[in-house]
């Protein structure tokens, strides 16, 4: 991705919390996600008033206020379902769900599974750090990435792989990025926004305060760009790629799977007085005569 002109990027800083007020720990991976988002949004020439950012609960969800654009912030685990409803109501909006790994894969996993099936034109960026940062570092479902356990317990199970889960559930765009590689992440986000369906981006966004294992350095050692020859439209190749990276103990960065589904087009639902005034009751009345 080319460098974005500074003036254009400034658009995304209006109607937002000033930079000096951002309440993430210094060095938080979420800064990278924020920078990547600004780059991608600017690059695609999206306009803030047509964007709806739906934030999850946690450190990550605060990103909705650090960026221009309409924003909504509801319950823990709910962001994808709000995003689904908003997008169904108004397909002209760019709807982006920004949530953490706990929000997405623990309390909100029901929505992750079923929104993957439903395939709305919504982008989900999982700001994945393996911990619940805002409640001071409890394990999340992605905790344990790269760590080998002698034995597991009910209290301490193996981690959930959001990529495989997304593939299984039918997400039509599955990608992975690393907030320590902002330019690449921005490229992935832009592709996700352009994808006409549900796009999942699992973004490694290190928690510098509570995850002392999956650090920037650890990620840098383990991430690897997906080779050019990979065909994202081939689902078998996607599975094979994940297995192959696993075998080598590496984490793929890039688009793992992308295949647009045939979708029935919908218009924005009627909402203004004049759009609703003409509704004839006859199709309903005739059922009951």
- Least distance (Å) from another protein to the CB of residue 275? 8
- Least distance (Å) from another protein to the CB of residue 86? 4
Mark out the alpha helices in 4-151 (DSSP H runs).
6-10, 29-43, 79-89, 101-102, 109-118
Tell me how far CA of residue 103 lies from CA of 46, 63, 100, 138, 150, in angstroms. Answer: 27, 14, 5, 13, 28
DSSP-based three-state secondary structure for 42: helix
Interior/surface letters 200-214, b for 16+ CB within 10 angstroms, e for the rest: bbbbbbbbbbbbeeb
Interior/surface letters 92-112, b for 16+ CB within 10 angstroms, e for the rest: ebbbbbbbbbbbbbbbbbebb
- Give CA–CA dist 172/251, Å, rounded: 20
- Least distance (Å) from another protein to the CB of residue 188? 24
- Least distance (Å) from another protein to the CB of residue 15? 5
- Least distance (Å) from another protein to the CB of residue 72? 5
Q: Between 21 and 247, whose beta carbon lies closer to another protein?
A: 21
C-beta atoms surrounding 140 within 10 Å: 25
Using alpha carbons only, give the angle 174, 108, 264 rounded to the nearest 5 degrees: 55
Q: Between 16 and 253, whose beta carbon lies closer to another protein?
A: 16
Q: Which of 186, 136, 145 is nearest to 1 (CA)?
A: 186
If you ran DSSP here, which 8-state letter would residue 196 be given? S
- Least distance (Å) from another protein to the CB of residue 21? 9
Q: Between 77 and 130, whose beta carbon lies closer to another protein?
A: 77
Contact residues for another protein (CB under 8 A)?
15, 17, 47-52, 54-55, 62, 64-65, 68-75, 78, 81-90, 92-93, 110-111, 113-114, 266-267, 269-273, 275-277, 279, 281, 283-285, 288-289
Q: Between 24 and 178, whose beta carbon lies closer to another protein?
A: 24
HSE-up (13 A, CA, CB side) for residue 68:
17
Q: Between 125 and 255, whose beta carbon lies closer to another protein?
A: 125
Q: Between 102 and 232, whose beta carbon lies closer to another protein?
A: 102
Q: Which of 118, 125, 128, 66 is nearest to 95 (CA)?
A: 125
- Least distance (Å) from another protein to the CB of residue 267? 7
Q: Between 97 and 214, whose beta carbon lies closer to another protein?
A: 97
């Amino acid at each position: 991705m080319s460098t974005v002109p500074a003036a254009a990027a400034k658009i995304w800083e209006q109607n937002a919390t000033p930079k000096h007020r951002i309440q993430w720990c210094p060095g938080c991976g979420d800064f990278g996600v924020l920078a990547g988002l600004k780059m991608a949004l600017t690059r695609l020439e999206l306009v803030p008033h047509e964007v709806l950012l739906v934030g999850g609960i946690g450190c990550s969800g605060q990103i909705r206020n650090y960026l221009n654009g309409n924003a909504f912030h509801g319950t823990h685990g709910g962001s994808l379902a709000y995003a689904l409803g908003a997008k169904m109501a108004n397909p002209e909006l760019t709807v982006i769900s920004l949530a953490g790994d706990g929000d997405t894969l623990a309390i909100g996993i029901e929505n992750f599974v079923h929104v993957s099936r439903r395939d709305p034109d919504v982008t989900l960026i999982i700001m994945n750090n393996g911990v619940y940062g805002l409640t001071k570092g409890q394990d999340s479902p992605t905790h344990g990435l790269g760590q080998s356990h002698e034995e597991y317990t009910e209290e301490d199970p193996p981690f959930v792989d959001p990529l495989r889960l997304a593939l299984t559930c039918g997400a039509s765009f599955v990608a992975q990025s690393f907030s320590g590689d902002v330019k690449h992440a921005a490229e992935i986000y832009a592709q996700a926004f352009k994808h006409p369906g549900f796009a999942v981006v699992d973004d490694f966004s290190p928690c510098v305060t509570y995850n002392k294992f999956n650090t920037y350095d650890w990620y840098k050692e383990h991430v690897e760009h997906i080779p050019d020859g990979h065909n994202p439209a081939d689902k078998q190749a996607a599975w094979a790629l994940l297995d192959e990276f696993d075998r080598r103990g590496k984490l793929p960065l890039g688009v793992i799977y992308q295949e647009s589904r045939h979708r029935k087009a919908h218009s924005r639902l009627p909402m203004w007085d004049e759009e609703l005034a003409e509704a004839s009751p006859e199709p309903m009345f005739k059922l009951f005569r």
